[in-house]
Chain A
Amino acid sequence: MCAASGSPRTLVDVLVIRRDLVDEIVAHARRDHPDEACGVVAGPESADRPERFVPMLNAARSPTFYEFDSGDLLRLYRDMDSRDEVPVVIYHSHTATEAYPSRTDVSYASEPDAHYVLVSTRESDSDEFRSFRIVDGVVTEEDVQVVESYMFAHTGADDLPDHDS
Chain B
Amino acid sequence: MPVTVSVPTILRTHTGGEKSVEAKGATVAEVIDDLEARHPGIAGRLVKDGKLHRFVNIYVDDEDVRFAGGLDAKVGENSTVTILPAVAGGSR
Contacts and interface: CB of A to CB of B under 8 A. Distances in A.
Contacts of B66: 70
Interface string B67-92: 00000000000000010111111111
Interface residues of B, number: 19
A73 B87 contact: yes
Chain A binding surface SS class = mixed
B8 interface: yes
Contacts of A102: 89-92
Nearest to A100: B91
B49 interface: no
Contact of B86 (A40, A94, A108): A108
Interface class of chain B by DSSP: mixed
Interface string A90-115: 10101111000110110111111100
A44 B64 CA distance: 27
B1 interface: no
B10 A111 contact: yes
B84 A74 contact: yes
B8 A110 contact: yes
Interface of B: 8-10, 55, 57, 59, 62, 64, 66, 82, 84-92
